[in-house]
A and B are shown apart, each in its own frame.
Chain A
Amino acid sequence: MSWIDIGSIEDIPLRGARVVKTKVGCVAVFRTSENEVFATSDRCPHKNGPLSEGIVHGQSVTCPLHNWVFDLNTGVAQGADEGQIDTYPAKVEAGRILLDGTLLMNRAA
């Protein structure tokens, strides 16, 4: 893995999310109330809702369009809904958010 520093944890509101543009499309980076970070695809498999705009609770996010709930660890939809979002490695070190660049970044030409 090649970890890339994408910003400070303070750039994301507590229990909120921000988007990172990548070669695989928009990736949502979430910050939970325990200051953990998770990175997933920003698109809900149901109707393409932007998950980064959803309400973050525990280690889950609720899609803002139709309230599908996803576990941020596995990306699996909870409850009766069936679907899964992509998840990407993410971690916090010394207050900086690191994402795995091998998956997300274009190789330099």
Chain B
Amino acid sequence: MKKKLVVIGAGMASGRALEHLLEADKDAYDITLFNAEPRGNYNRIMLSPVLSGDKTYEEIVTHDANWYEENGVTCRFGEHVVKIDRERKIVVGQNGEVAYDKLLMATGSAPFIIPVPGKDLPGVIAYRDLDDTNTMIEATQKPGAKAVVIGGGLLGLEAAAGLKARGMDVTVLHLMGHLMERQLDEAAGYLLRRALEDKGIEVKCQASTAAILGEDKVEAVLLQDKTTIPADLVVMAVGIRPETRLANDAAIEVERGITVDDAMRTSDPDILAVGECVEHRQQLFGLVAPLYDQAKVVAATLLEEDAVFAPKEVSTKLKVTGCDLFSAGDFAEGEGREDIVFRDPSRGVYKRLVIENNVIVGAVMYGDTADGNWFFGLIKDKTDISDMRDTLIFGPAFQGGEPLDPLQAVAALPDDAEICGCNGVCKSQIVDAVKAGATDLGAVRAQTKASASCGTCTGLVEQLMAVTLGDDFQMPAAQSVCGCTDLTHEDVRRLIKSKELKSQAAVWQELGWNTPNGCHVCRPAVNYYLLADWPVEYQDDPQSRFVNERKHANIQKDGTYSVVPRMWGGMTTPDELRAIADAADKYNVPTVHVTGGQRIDLLGVKGEDLPAIWKDLNDAGMVSGHAYAKGLRTVKTCVGKDHCRFGTQDSTGLGIKLENKLWGSWSPHKVKLAVSGCPRNCAEATCKDIGVVCVDSGYQVGVAGAAGMDVKETERLMDCETEEETIEVATAFMQLYRENAKYLDRPYKWVAKVGLDWVKEQIVENVENRIALVERFELSQSIYQKDPWAELAAPDEAPKFGPLANLTLEAAE
């Protein structure tokens, strides 16, 4: 009598196993096949083309009813298996029992549904099978329908692209910092995101879903940061886990998946398992290639032949038209590992090889994946690459060629890219001038006016000359930002504007950074440039700030912090002083000091106490004094004409108004102000970054003073008649500095580079420009003028100042 085989699950792995089994010995078993889905086996990988409309279901069926009939397989489709009775060797289905000699479990995987409120609302689906696909296609029928895809991995992005192709408005939410973080590094993730955004798909990274909203069907998705995104359909594609419930109930050994040995046997030798439900040597499987290898082994084991499953390296490709990416192996950095990175910003190409002991262990490519399989071969075969190392990244076709051109970022700029913002000179004008005989910087300046004003684009103009003239041009040595790039601060600032780079990953990729994510020198600078130039689009990255600006307090040499509340214009009240004294007592502040900028400094506060002391000071009406910030610090004032017999104007009032206007803005370095009520200058306004001296006829605004490493008197920018004009001029100067200075240059250093005359042109002579500067400053303030103490003392933020865990406490329990 023939032995009986029962198979649970008609997926790709069991389908392939049955093929191998029947091919080898058609008569070895009586086969019964259970499938919970009311249909046979189809190619799940091709669901994305079905969703996008490139294929139909019929085209992706691999085993139809005829096939099972011809091969004598008894099908019980649409029937769930209730349990496995190992003692009686029986599988219990909803419609009755089937006995087995051998049992093959191919239960596949279940989508992971994130446990948020609203996850069970109609319209919230996973993306696993044909029914899900059909639900999605149906949702696209409604005109103007909106979809939110949760999960920016392989599956989620394919779902998003398919829905978009059918005309839906699609937003992808991804918890991590970049898309497909398991397959791609940050740079490739950035390029992928850009390509999806070009298709009209909105992508939000670091987006944590708080809830799914709706009455009797899904209406919107609520994020942790309180943003709401309207949605008629929510697709959860955050991951899968092996479907092990039947195995668990039958007391078969299960770790994360059903554990199998090399012959694909479970802990019960008569029960085998295959596919996404198994765990083999601590490894789970989601891609099809290893599943097919497993299927071969299953067929052999069922026929009592020896076979061993040995997982191989796998590679990934995304099936989204126009997004060409490839990833294989392990591309994390590590000790003894080296990177070879190739970036071609103009073509949007990124390639990275990770090498360990002269063998490639990982590869990520975006934009040009033609050599992917060649690299994949080198990874699988562990080929020693030492001989071809220099040219490896160019792929197999490389036959000697031009060495990489460090000027390619500039060479790749379009002709109409603006190089000199002051004088509105674009690339082609400079190139034309050079070709017409202007072979040194002076000549280019004279003819085009490029770099003739503030001079910050000088480096770019020189690079353009080098590109145009070739060897005839001797490039002057310029100081680059840091070892991560050859570009200077001025170049980076200019390119961020002209290429409209709005994220750090964009800067690293488009400007050819040679490290994966910068270093402690360039990251704070780039973060500042981005937030100053794109206050609305760019989101500040606290992890790219020095400790003081991340903790909103000054770190002291013993690791404690100082806390300085803002006292507008140096004014305070008895109530504020009492609150400060109470806080000093409550938090055991060892030192209370009056600063040079007319503020009170509480020194020696423990890091974990910061949110609590801020909360107390907030409750008394005080906000952060930003005594730690590269931004507005203090506005120092004298008492002015209200009290002083020499005072000419209300210097305290004007100081408070200036501080109210300017506080909270980030700048290249700290900015200190003062307003003195008469030329006796008690507030020491003439050695500040911006200093106002009141006189009978009005207000003298000086800028670019210094009283630090250097001591320097301010230079007179303008005499103003009213307070309003004074505030306007000071604000415009602040914005001009924010937009143009090199990171960590105080205003006096920056003004020395660009010249006071240029600053006067921008602010004094060109009133329209002055107003535009003020408007841009106000736009930035609409986002950045907020009290960081209040934000960080909030109940969900404050705990982050304490330890993540305390392992010393547990011992005491």
Contacts and interface: CB of A to CB of B under 8 A. Distances in A.
B181 A34 contact: yes
Contact of A16 (B524, B543, B803, B809): B543
B648 to A, nearest CB: 45
Interface stretch (B515-523, B691-699, B741-749): B515-523
A21 B803 contact: yes
Contacts of B542: 13, 16
B805 interface: yes
Interface residues of B, number: 45
Nearest to B544: A55
Given A33-B516, A57-B523, A64 B804 contact: no
B544 A20 contact: no
Interface string A15-45: 1101111110010010011111000000000
A89 to B, nearest CB: 14
B559 A48 contact: yes
Given A14-B543, A34-B332, A59-B334, A6 B804 contact: yes
B515 A58 contact: yes
A35 B176 contact: yes
B805 A53 contact: no
Contacts of A104: 807
B725 interface: no
A65 B546 CA distance: 10
A51 B225 CA distance: 28
B807 A101 contact: yes
A30 B218 CA distance: 38
Contacts of B607: 50
A33 B803 contact: no
Nearest to A59: B333
B199 interface: no
A49 B517 contact: no
Interface string B777-810: 0000000000000000000000010011111111
Contacts of A4: 807
B421 to A, nearest CB: 30
A12 B804 contact: yes
Contacts of A10: 175, 208
B128 interface: no
B555 interface: yes
Given A14-B206, A53-B551, A73-B334, A105 B546 contact: no
B347 interface: no
Contacts of B202: none
B486 interface: no
A23 B808 contact: yes
B547 A53 contact: yes
A34 B333 contact: yes
B520 A67 contact: yes
B335 interface: yes
B177 A62 contact: no
Nearest to A74: B335
Among B175, B333, B516, B524, the most chain A Cβ lie within 10 Å of the Cβ of B333
Interface in B524-560: 524, 542-544, 546-547, 550-551, 555, 557-559
Given A64-B555, A74-B335, A54 B520 contact: yes
Contacts of A109: 811
A55 B186 contact: no
A105 B807 contact: yes
A77 interface: no
B293 interface: no
B185 interface: yes
B334 A55 contact: no
Contacts of A15: 517, 543-544
A71 B519 CA distance: 13
Nearest to A106: B811
B335 A58 contact: no
A7 B805 CA distance: 7
B807 A14 contact: no
Contacts, number: 127
Contact of A49 (B177, B515, B550, B559): B559
B515 A33 contact: no
Given A14-B543, A64-B547, A50 B520 contact: no
Given A33-B517, A48-B559, A59-B334, A11 B808 contact: no
Contacts of B546: 55, 64
Interface in B140-184: 175-177, 181
A32 B186 CA distance: 11
A6 B23 CA distance: 52
B555 A65 contact: yes
A18 B800 contact: yes
Contacts of A101: 807
Among A48, A58, A105, A107, the most chain B Cβ lie within 10 Å of the Cβ of A58
A49 to B, nearest CB: 7
B123 to A, nearest CB: 27
Nearest to A94: B256
A107 B278 CA distance: 37
A19 B333 contact: no
Interface string B199-243: 000000010100000000000000000000000000000000000
Contact of B185 (A18, A22, A34, A107): A34
B543 A56 contact: yes
Contact of B177 (A14, A58, A59): A14
B232 to A, nearest CB: 29
Interface in B666-687: none
A80 interface: no
B543 A62 contact: no
Contacts of B813: 108
Contact of A73 (B335, B517, B544): B335
Among A29, A59, A101, A107, the most chain B Cβ lie within 10 Å of the Cβ of A59
Interface of B: 175-177, 181, 185-186, 206, 208, 256, 332-335, 515-520, 523-524, 542-544, 546-547, 550-551, 555, 557-559, 607, 800, 803-813
Given A11-B800, A19-B804, 7 more contacts: A14-B206, A21-B803, A50-B559, A64-B547, A65-B557, A69-B520, A105-B810
26 contacts: A7-B805, A10-B175, A10-B208, A20-B805, A21-B803, A21-B805, A22-B807, A22-B808, A23-B808, A29-B804, A32-B333, A34-B186, A34-B332, A35-B181, A36-B333, A50-B559, A53-B547, A54-B547, A55-B520, A57-B515, A58-B333, A59-B334, A65-B555, A105-B810, A106-B812, A108-B811
Closest CB pairs A-B (n = 8)? A106-B811, A62-B520, A18-B804, A64-B547, A6-B805, A73-B335, A53-B547, A55-B520
